[in-house]
Amino acid sequence: MTSLTYADYLNLDTLLSLQAPRTPDTAERSVILAEHFFVVAHQSSELWLKQIAADLDAAVDALRPEYGPSDPESGSELLERAAELLRILLEQLAALDKLPVRHFAEFRPYLGSASGAESEQFHYLAELLGDDQHPGRLYEAFAAATEHSGTTVAEVCRRGPQAGVHHRIAENLLDIGNRYWRWKVGHLTLMSKMLGEQPGTGGTTGAAYLISRIIVPFAELRRLRGRLHEDLVGRPAQ
């Protein structure tokens, strides 16, 4: 077996050289470290987004019959992991909350026009999850998988745990949607705290722009689940 070190396997020399704060060396050490922290947090977020998108893409492939035999069990596992990774992204915001605003104000001019709104992976994730007008590929794959198995999403919601793996997938999707929503709300509250009414570096309106982008994915699934309340109200007592 070829000798391979931990550092070689992870390309640590390259990875650990990618944090390059733009704050001048003449600035206070605390400000330089604050920007380094800011860079690390956003780079790690992009890495987690890469994994989340890959897992969700694989889940779509596992659920859609046209890609071969449907594998809902594998799809459920991938969705569960993606939900957990979204929780990690939310926890990273709690760490970013420890960035002193005075330090952020000092190094923020060196960001230029760079903005998180430009993240291609974030936009790709939003497309996968969909919104009120567009269900997104992930939900469409779930609906196709239920239809392929001879049922519907509405029936899966009605049957609950008796629907087996399709019920677990529905719960996975809602976990993903809820954590995605919490992550966006967390980002809004953090940036509102750090920026107040200042505009975003990318030319956006700042907090107002973030508010306009907050949606709860899988609106159709939520609507179908909510219909259960109406069904139960009209059901005679046992």
> What is the dihedral sign for C-alpha 228, 132, 62, 56?
negative
Place of tokens 């020399």: 13
Burial of 213 (0-12, 13-18, 19+ CB in 10 A): middle
**pLDDT of amino acid 210:** 73
Whether this model's pTM surpasses 0.85: yes
Average pLDDT (135-161) is 95
Place of tokens 């990690």: 88
**pLDDT of amino acid 233:** 60
The pLDDT tens digits for 175-214 are 999 999 999 999 889 888 888 777 666 666 666 767 767 8
- Would you call 4 helix, strand, or coil by DSSP? coil
- Domains by residue range for the chain, with CATH: 27-109+120-225 (1.20.58.480)
The pLDDT tens digits for 50-90 are 999 999 999 999 998 777 778 999 999 999 999 999 999 99
116 pLDDT above the threshold of 90? no
Length reported for the chain: 238
